[in-house]
Amino acid sequence: MKKFLLSFILVSFLLVSTSVWAGKPYKIGALFSITGPTSFIGEPERNTLVMLVDEVNKAGGINGHPVELVVYDTEGEETNAVKKVTKLIVQDRVLAIIGPSRTGTTLAVVPFVERYKVPLISCAAGIKIVEPVKPWVFKTAQSDRLAVKKIYEYCQANGIKKVAIITVSNGFGQSGREELKSLAKEYGIEIVADELFGPKDTDMTPQLTRIRSKNPDAVICWGTNPGPAIVAKNMKQLGMKQQLFMSHGVASKKFIELAGDAAEGIILPAGKILVADQLPDDDPQKKLLLDYIARYKARFGKEPSAFGGHAYDAFLLLKAALEKAGADRAKIREALENLRGIVGIHGIFNMSPTDHNGLDEKTAFVLIRIQNGDWQLIK
């Protein structure tokens, strides 16, 4: 069974005979970390995309064409991602690709989609994915730069001037670390300690002991599970009382489950989906958010995470581009680059030739505090 899960998953929602369709299927590919340490990211992304393709085909497809979806599991590994993206491009001949789930796996496949001129809409956050702009590469996840700004704005407003940072030593962590360091001065913040941890490390006590000796006002941890949960637990074990901030890389209930009581009081920037019911009624995203949550829950028996929202937005953008461009990779790329005012799960997208993420800090993030084992919007 496990071998089957690690093999590719082919999802083709041709719900009626192809003879009734106006045209041939629009074949799109997807790369997600469905298994492995970051399956908590890839599984809701896969589920969301399967649901959306199913819904579109039930409604008549795109321009009368059914959508055929080919999904591969990267297991969160760069080498595997490269093998699977090559298969999508050369063997499956997809029109466009959604994913991968992680910054590292995305950066690993970028040279291939650029070489073969295939539009890629990543679901990962690292700003290096789209800066500098790469003609064939887009992304829907909010950039780490916007997340850092949200944290630093809170620090500035609450008299937090000295911070320690502890970041994971992979693509996501490196990108976040660079943004934390480059933006600190702009907000009047001094970084008094700068520590790293490995993706598979199981104890961060040595790094946190060094941080404690610097007596920072707050600690900022940048990574994805399970590392950040270990940082939270180790801080509690060491009796450290500083405010702990996390990145948007832990914006799922899995983090609260892993960190347990140590998650209480942690603050993080996250997409509005985690607190959709707490948003004001005039928020332009609220209706879409509540609708997505209800549809996902009805289909899969549980609420989606913020990560599923990245796949939702990617398909939303790709669908809009396909409606304009049809089955032409170059025209799809051009259409993606010129999409404006697309209300999505994680913000309002305004793409341009100089911005292949299209989000701003006003709609991309809210600040959330973990309180009583749940998310609480900081207003």
pLDDT at 347: 95
Mean pLDDT of 128-147: 95
Domain 5-142+287-362 and domain 144-270, same fold? Reply is yes
Residue 312 predicted with pLDDT over 90? yes
Confirm if 223 and 249 have CB atoms less than 8 A apart: yes
Confirm if 117 and 330 have CB atoms less than 8 A apart: yes
Pick among 3.30.830.10, 3.10.450.50, 3.40.50.11290, 3.40.50.2300: CATH of 5-142+287-362? 3.40.50.2300
Q: Collapsing DSSP states into helix, strand and coil, what is residue 61?
A: coil
Query: How many Å is the maximal CA-CA distance in the chain?
Result: 71
Under DSSP, the state recorded for 62 is: B
Query: Tens of pLDDT along 80-101?
Result: 999 999 999 999 999 999 999 9
Residue 2 — pLDDT band, cuts 50, 70, 90?
very low
Residue-range domain boundaries for the chain = 5-142+287-362, 144-270
198 dihedral zone (left: phi>0; alpha: psi -120 to 50; beta): beta
Bridge partners for 32 per DSSP = 73
99 dihedral zone (left: phi>0; alpha: psi -120 to 50; beta): left
Alpha carbon distance 35, 73 (integer Å): 7
Residue 361 predicted with pLDDT over 90? no
In degrees and rounded to multiples of 5, residue 134 shows phi and psi of: -115, 125
Task: Kindly state the percentage of the chain with pLDDT values over 90.
Answer: 88
Question: Is 144-270 in CATH node 3.40.50.2300?
Answer: yes
Higher pLDDT, 360 or 47: 47
pLDDT at 20: 57
Query: Tens of pLDDT along 22-65?
Result: 689 999 999 999 999 899 999 999 999 999 999 999 999 999 99
pTM of the prediction?
A: 0.86
Q: Residue 373 CB: number of other CB atoms within 10 A?
A: 13
pLDDT at 362: 81
Alpha carbon distance 318, 229 (integer Å): 34
pLDDT at 21: 60
